[in-house]
Structure 1
Amino acid sequence: MVIADVPSVLMQIQPTIQRFARMLASVLQLEVEIVDENLCRVAGTGAYGRYLGRQQGSSSRLLRYVLESKQEKIVTHSRFDPLCEGCESKESCREKAFLGTPVILQDRCVGVISLIAVTHEQQEHINDNLQAFSDYVRHISTIFVSKLLEDQKSSGSISKIFSTMIENMDQGVLVIDEDNRIQFANNTALKILGVVQNNMIGKSIRFRPLTFESNFTHGHMQHIISWDDKSEIIIGQLHSVQERQLFLMAFHQSHTSSTITPGGDDPHIEQLVGECRVMRQLKRLIGRIAPSPSSVLIVGESGTGKEVVARAIHKLSERQNKPFIAINCAAIPEQLLESELFGYVKGAFTGASVNGKVGLIQAANNGTLFLDEIGDMPLMLQAKLLRAIEAREILPIGASSPVPVDIRIISATHQNLNQFISEGKFREDLYYRLNVIPLTLPPLRERQDDIELLVHYFLHLHTRRLGLVYPGISPEVVAVLKRHRWPGNLRELSNLMEYLVNVVPSGEVIDSVLLPPNLVSNNKESERVNIVSSFGLSSVEDTSGTALEEMEKQMIREALSRHSSKKQVADELGIGIATLYRKIKKYELLSA
């Protein structure tokens, strides 16, 4: 734990290197540690972001090896490597895999850039992408070093190191200044946006996330990016770096919508994701009716988000700081529902609490009461609820005097209440009291234009919650999902996305082979999707798996012969660079 007396070359520009480390970790989804020639930690992420400037101890054998040998070191299973023999910290070591790259400046190793896996998922991520990560870090290191000395005195708004690194990234990157103007855009970003550099620098730009929950402020999510009179839906991460913003676009931009009209006048409603015409109309209607105290009846199929809409109305109303009480009339036994809604006084019946109980209607006083599945409420309770609405008071079980209440009632059902009225199952007078403002939620099958927005919403939700890498999704899968009937609506789609993020290889694209058989069987067109669809072949019939693999192998071999860059090969074939390296290994094309 000795701090060098004279700052090293890397330590002299430590803030720049720390920004570099954070960006590299964000891009590769791994931890990053950078040390100088004295084994002092210059920068790091996660647990490696602590003790900056402190010299590493004797346990840093891998870093020391890279410094002394000036050679890259790869360890796919830490503790089993010969260098780990005799290490006193071996048993407590959290590192599961390691990739260390030397920083060579004028034939001298001035530091080490290391990628580290501390989870089994990250370990698999390194193992699956070894060659790609090695080439990438070596490339970045070369750029970094070539500009190191000449840029130490640079005082521009974006240093040449920073801009050169961004320009050579495979991800699209935008740098936005404090006035929300584009200060820098790399070629990948320009290609995704379909514009040229000269037309973008200095443009005012606006980012509007399609998700508004407070816990969705980080990680990949969909943004509507607007400039001039244009708008695009782009998946990415928005970071604040000093006084600027850095927008990192995801590797997989799988949306098919080329443009979207910004809904600047629509209220921002948490979880109510949708930009199709009917959803925009719904959001505008919710914004208009929310301030009113009138009752609302929400009708929609199961899983369409009726409670989400009810909570949105409450949050946009003047009652937003008062209670929101939700009760499912179908989930509580009939004999308990009355006491739950209206409460009871001490000694009201055998088994009653000695202190009595405040009912949910009284608990919602000055706030909102949400009655889900109102069609399942017994007729006797319907009469008592009607009395409470009309008199604005309730009579707890066993009480001798009523209790005044001020509530707004929002009810919901998936049933046909008009039919229930004709069958004598629902009171007509209560129906008219509840149905002052009717809202109808469309089923998911009628919201095809929103399918992709919702897919990425749930991908973001579940990858963040489970700590997984945000995947891409193939156009073939999106087409299958748009054709599906979705009997379970949003709930069914959410469950499917949670399943897919668990089974897709880390950082890869969700393709049709991962879809559950029942989903594929309901989409006859999807039966034609096969392994060669990624390579531009629209239909291959009566072809065995072996023949398909041979065809794929030949296409990769030919593409390799045409290009010197693996990135160009991957772009031509329409696959990720990591997938390309895996297939090269699979088909033994390593010498190509």
Structure 2
Amino acid sequence: MTLLKKCQREIQSIFAMLSHHYGLTCAIYDTNIDLVAYTDSYEKIWGTKVYKPPIERVFHLKQVVNTSPGEKDICGGCSCYHNCPATFEISQCVCCNGVPIGVLLFVSFSKSRRANTPKNIQETITLIEDCAASIGTIAAGKNSLEYPDAAQEIMKTTLEIAPYPLLAVNSNGSVLAENTAFGFFRDSHIFQEQAFLETLPKDSLYHLLSGKKLNNYIVSLQEDTQIQIETFPIFNAGGQLIATIIKPEYTKQTKSTFSEETSTLNQDIGFSIDDIIGTSPEIKQLKKQVVRIANSPSTVFIHGETGTGKGLIAKALHYESNRKEMPFISVNCSSIPESLFESELFGYEEGAFTGARKQGKPGKFELADGGTIFLDEVSEIPLNIQAKLLTVIQDRVVERIGGVTPRSIDIRIIAASNKDLLQMIQEKTFREDLYYRLNVLPVYLPALRERKQDIELLSEYFLARYNKILNKNVLRIDNEIMKLFQSYDWPGNIRQLQNIIEYCVNVTNRSILTSEDLPIDFVENKREPIPEALLHLNGHAEQKIILEMLNHYGWGVEQKKIIAKKLNMSLRTLYRKIQKYQIEPTFKENNSSEQ
């Protein structure tokens, strides 16, 4: 019996609620493509059989929004091809502990039925995602493993002995234990923000959990990436499969690519400054600066809004330097619980605290020895840890929790934040001395609205990328979309552009992306375009306007935020221009508001 079938009663109750409150037609299929639960309206029109390929496709794409059911090539073998009774479909992969266990369907068969769904596609997508998450939680409860604590601790300790990545899962794919080496493997760019098993193709996952002993089993992922897997199945006395130990590693043929916040450990990725996309004057100048300071041991601070590519610049600094063969360790400070900051950054010795590993654990700074450590969102580091970080930066020594001997380290430190640290210093939430030790070599990343010349190039890059990932063949982007992109101010910067292109490629059924493919929230919430006059200001005119607005609104931080918003620029950019033009208050008393 599949895991979803164990949850049939609970799922049927959820469907009854959705049908009553939203008028939705719902169904869910398990990994065998067997219909597990459904609303009455679904059974009356479709029956209990289904054409399998479109369902199987969802296991790979995770989510499919189809506004023209029955018209796609994948429906070619269906008896309803070109004559499908459905008028609208959203399919969502349901996962339990990161492992796909089924596909959830929301279907509309008529205009009147469709009128009872939420107001727009995005609301419906949110509803189906929440529903899928709830079913996954129910399934996890049904699948809770009664595993003796002692035996589980023995397994964890055994896995830690090995120097290579190991992951133990039960017969359903739920994680039992993993070792530290697997943690580093999982944190690499391929699996960033995703469960390891969730990234694997369905057929590969089936082989891994089949109980067969696999050697040198090759799994192909996105972006020309391959991993080689060896499995060690474990059976009970009755011959029943109870667990599988998985040993993954990258193949030599792997060509790695990057997402914005990559963590890598001793992997020859071959990244270079040429992989930074853009030909605008701002990006050309940025690339020159990166090459110029790459070999310097001095600390670099990357200033930029969310989504501007701070992680990419950090990697470019590392891989253009003489440290490129050594580790590059990326630490997202916003994702570390406050109680774990010290142990994560500086490590701990054996017996340092209850639950500490017997052999102790090196911190991120030790792991980066000889290479580079990138502290992203450094503004999130607690004040008590900032003092210890300052010592590490100044003396290049680190002392583990519970340790008595400082360890010398040779590292290049790169930090970044999307918050205004100068304001945080005024608010006493960030140390001023630490800021100046971090900001030795400042690098300023322009917002996407400040380098609009690159929007078309970036859009084409993302289009090609998601064509490959999603196995689509969208030829180009319509000029109407490009005009919309050029007039938008992109508060989410490159990451927002990337997400929009990915959405468009997912939902389109045409060879050219048009405005009809754009997310509804983007079309409805598109901000007013930047005034044409501001796009062509010379330095003197820009200086005059900024000075006049400062004298009008005031020189305080809050007033500058208002000015930056009205000028469609970031607060950081405004500060940079004030410094560039050496703008000072015309009246001395105006300066008091910023003290």
TM-score, structure 1 as length reference: 0.44
TM-score (norm 2): 0.44
Larger radius of gyration: 1
